[in-house]
Structure 1
Amino acid sequence: MIRLKGSDSEKLIFLLSFTLVISVMNSTMFNMAVPTITRDFNLQPSEAGWIITGYIVVYAIGTVMYGKLSDKFKLKNLLTFGLSLFAIGSIIGFTAVNFEITVFGRILQAAGASVMPATSLIIPSRYFTPETRGRALGIVSAGTALGTAIGPIVAGLVTSFINWRYLFVISLLSLITLPLFRKYLKDEIQKPHVKTDMLGAFLLAGTLSLLLLTITQKTVLFAATGIIFLVLFIWRIRKAEQPFIQTSVFKNKEYSIAILISALSTGIGFGIPYLTPLLLQNVNGISPFMSGLIMFPGALTAALLGKKGGQLADYKGNTYLIYTALSCFFIGYCFLSTLSGLSTYFIMLVLVFACTGQTFIQIGLANTVSSTLSKDQSGIGMGIFMMTNFIAGSIATTLISVAVEKETDTIQLNPLLINSKGLIYSNIFAVLGMIVILISIIYMITFSSNFSNKVEKKVYRKI
């Protein structure tokens, strides 16, 4: 652990928290702008969705990449590179003259901004003692929650009264933190022998991108090329001395199933920030700013209940928290499926359940996944866990955007739907509710058994 003066460590963690607010806001703000971008560039929803999807794919790969590079390079230099790249992408996005350059700007943003998730875990572990680390992580989590809560409000305000392009300008605020990071971060001991599998990362990114292009464009060429990339990626991780993804961790059955559950949960969780603005703006006909206001109470409530979720996991067990989260998800999606197209105030109330479920499931599954790992596999396993969640989010966003394009004369999955104008959205929320049931069954079979009891006994002993 690296020693800092007490005041310096406090300044460093609050600085990190502020930067995370900007980073998280950047990942959520453009959800509110997708309907406007769709109209401005005359796009289909699946095409406009690449503003979100392209960002998430690169963000997922970058999160793991920066974590690996932190052993090889100084953290202050990684942050300088990442935040500078983030700023360059913001400038390109702001000045873009067409949609393709806009997406390119977002991809550069993601390549830079992904330094923050890795840093948010590394700084508390390197610069804080075990006795103070919990508080540091709490402040970091508060920054993440704050960014999630205020992102839709800021995005709605900017999109409604200025122009969605100015969302890129807000991201430039991260630059003011660079001199301070360089001041408070000390030089760490480097491990120059650590290798980073850049080829493996490239092949994985290519595989994911081609998969998503296949879904949106329905082109055989993309599918065939994607298969080639996948085969090359599998070959690479089997042959590389230090592969980008170490497959040995998947020999752990409980870990593999926990990753699957987490991917499904993250996927349905993306139905809230991505699908809700489309519903509110396209069906209810309200502005992006009002959409942000409708979504704000749910996000804020979920942020405030984050600490309570951790306490539930500690005192009543992780299984209790998981089932609470899944119940909130199910209630939220059932009502959203029924109320699509009705009063925005009903939707605002229901979002409290859905957003709370999203927060609780993140806490519960992080505990579940970490509990399945041995000490020597924790770093690798949690890195894959974070990356898988981002990948699942990008795939879910793509699938949802394609589903939104369907004609309104489709079958009605929810017989209780009141307003037929919201039929497409009702059907998507109904499918997400069905996936919640599937997740519950998988979790019950795997973790509501002897394994789950063993994990929770360990927690009770610590208490």
Structure 2
Amino acid sequence: MERENNRTNRPPTAGGAAASGRLVTALCFVLFFSVMNATMFNVALPDIAADFSLSPSAVSWIVTGYSVIYALGSLLFGKLADKYPLKRLITIGLLLFAAASAFGFFANSYALVLIARFVQAAGASCVPALVMLIPVRFFQPEQRGKVMGVIASTIAFSSGLGPIIGGFIAGHLGWNYLFLISLAAPVVLPLIRRSLPEEQVRSGEKVDLVGAALLGGGVAAFMLAVTQFSALWLLGSVVLTALFLWRTGKSPNPFIQLRLFYISGFVNGLVVSFTGFFTVFGVFLLTPIMLKGLYNLDAQTIGFVLFPAAMLAALLGRVGGQLADRRGSKYTLYVALTMLAFGLLCLSAVNGLSPWIIACALPFVNVAFTFMQASLAKAVSSSLPREQTGIGMGVYNLVNFLAGAISGSVLTKAIEFDASSLNFTSLGQPTTFGAVYFVLGLLALADMLWVFWKLERKAVAVPTMGK
């Protein structure tokens, strides 16, 4: 899919240091703490609620608010990266992340904890935006899949380790010590700054902050609408999005050039990504709930059931990236979605049997996730003109966050109904969870058909965009 565009938008060689294993290692080190910071607080919510006498809906803002700001920040950092040097942006983001982490450790009220988490999210949001962009900007096309695979492995590893480490620290030291872990992220900042080449501030268009605010407000309202099932938030999202589109048509330098969505490879990549991540995030969310509801497992045992799949995905993630380099993104997506559909159908069948049998089916989902991450990031980035890679990858990250938010809201609502009669694939006692896994398996197969019909076998060269 991406070969023609790679020839047209081939990045300049960034020098030996930038395209080195040291840079990739440093980026993954930062990514590890960024992702783990988002997941390890989940297990501490009951303790935080007890300390401040909060309801579950109130304490959930520690996760919900973080996710909203993290998603919007990744989009903004992506846009800024089209104008400002990556070295400057990642420095600002990591120092802000560390400062908020130190502040959070000493927070003695819920309001201060929320402030710390929100500022953490604002700083940490530089990581997904820039970590995805650096391979595109400073590595040759034939190397990008491998680098993306390493990044996907890191995400899988930190996601699996986050709840376990979070539970251990919160249980033995206290939840406020979770903030201290993130202070390690800027340790590698000097190495990153040395490895990245010098860049100049790009002259030309200014960042449309009014448009950014309208889009950010619209997206935030939409995420709150789907997570809280609020019609009022949905109405606010529609109004703000309409104002953003009006502003985009009037502004000489819009925050997002709408012609970006005329690139078929980019748009279809977003569709495949949203559908695939909706499916995978659904599994990540439902499985712990299912293990607690059906088997009454405690948090530590649930972590042990989930951990092998996460570790296997971490080990095999770079294989998916190498496959994308050798055989192309489209082929790798076929492999990933086949594994995903098979894993979901297996979960639908063994749901209700021993949790350790479920643990044997989960690796198909987790490994598929890393393969999708590597191949989709490469495919989407390769469809973009060079001067729009920052905002384009920011939109890509935002779509994935939205997929997770919508998946969580829809599927947690779905399991409130008794749909066990639809779990006709079950080898044991039919359950609602099994029915949902089956539907998600069908969705993965539909996503594969979209890849076959819509993602081009040979991409057409994308012209440079004007203002």
Tell me the TM-score normalized by structure 2.
0.80
> Measured at CA, do residues 394 and 215 of structure 1 come closer, stay the same or move farther in structure 2, by a change above 3 Å?
closer
1:327 paired residue number: 338
Does 2:208 match 1:200? Answer: no
Is the contact made by 1:321 and 1:360 (CA closer than 8 Å) also made in structure 2? Answer: yes
1:211 CA drift (Å)? 2.2
Which of structures 1 and 2 has the larger relative contact order (alpha carbons within 8 angstroms, sep 6+)?
2
1:134-172 deviations in Å (ceiling 9; x for gaps): 876666555445433433432343345444443322112
- In structure 1, what is the Cα distance between the partners aligned to 2:315 and 2:89? 32
**AA of the residue aligned to 2:185:** S
Hey, what does 1:400 align to over in structure 2? 411
State the SS of the aligned residue for 2:202. coil
Moved more, 231-240 or 360-369: 360-369
- Name the counterpart of 2:249: 238
- Matched residue, 1:361: 372
CA contact (8 A) 1:28 1:273 kept: no
Matched, 1:81 2:89: no
1:345: which partner in 2? 356
What is the root-mean-square deviation in Å for CA atoms of aligned residues? 3.7
- Map 1:72-221 to 2 at 5 A: 72-91=83-102, 93-94=104-105, 102-123=113-134, 143-178=154-189, 181=192, 187-191=198-202, 193-221=204-232
Show structure 2 runs of 5+ residues with no match.
1-11, 461-467
Shift of 1:410: 5.2
- 2: CA distance, partners of 1:98 / 1:34: 14
User: CA shift at 1:386, angstroms?
Assistant: 2.5
1:248 to 255, 259, 262: 259
Matched, 1:267 2:275: no
Conserved 8 A contact 1:313-1:320: yes
Question: Pick from 413, 437, 444: which aligns with 2:422?
Answer: 413
Matches within 5 A, 1:285-300: 285-300=296-311
- Is 2:419–2:435's contact at 8 Å kept on the other side of the alignment? no
Alignment check: 8 A CA contact 2:145 2:321 kept: no
Displacement of 1:446:
2.0
How much identity, in percent, do the aligned residues show?
Answer: 37
Superposition deviation, residue 360 in structure 1: 1.6
Change (3 A) 1:361 1:261: same
Q: Is the 8 A contact 1:155 1:289 kept in 2?
A: no
CA 1:21/1:34 → structure 2, altered by over 3 Å: closer, same or farther? same
**Cα pair 1:255 1:372 within 8 Å, conserved:** yes
Q: Separation in 1 of the partners of 2:273 and 2:234?
A: 26
Aligned residue type for 2:434: S
Distance change >3 Å, CA 122–CA 141, structure 1 → 2:
same
Is 1:53–1:395's contact at 8 Å kept on the other side of the alignment?
no
Aligned mate of 1:386, from 373, 384, 397: 397
Is 1:229 the counterpart of 2:240? The answer is yes
Structure 1 position 355, deviation (Å): 0.5
1:347 CA displacement:
1.8
CA distance in structure 2 between the aligned counterparts of 1:125 and 1:215, rounded to whole angstroms: 32
C-alpha deviation, 1:200, in angstroms:
2.3
Code of the aligned partner of 1:246: Q
Matched with 2:439 is 431
For 2:166 and 2:367, locate their aligned partners in 1 and report how far apart those are by CA, in whole Å.
21
- Paired amino acid for 1:196: V
Provide the rounded CA distance (Å) in 2 between the counterparts of 1:359 and 1:3: 26
Indicate the larger mover: 202-211 or 187-196. 187-196
Aligned residue pair count? 448
Deviation at 1:13, TM superposition (A): 4.3
Specify the SS of the correspondent of 2:422: coil
Tell me what 1:302 maps to: 313
Quick check: 1:28–1:151 contact (8 Å CA) kept in 2? yes
Structure 1 residue 113: Cα displacement: 0.5
2:25 alignment partner, one of 14, 31, 48: 14
- The 2-side partners of 1:38 and 1:429 are apart by 31
- Tell me which moved more, 392-401 or 157-166: 157-166
- Name the CA distance, whole Å, in 2 between partners of 1:107 and 1:253: 35
Normalising to structure 1: TM-score of the pair? 0.81
Tell me the SS of whatever aligns to 1:243.
Answer: coil
Structure 1 gaps, min length 5: 457-463
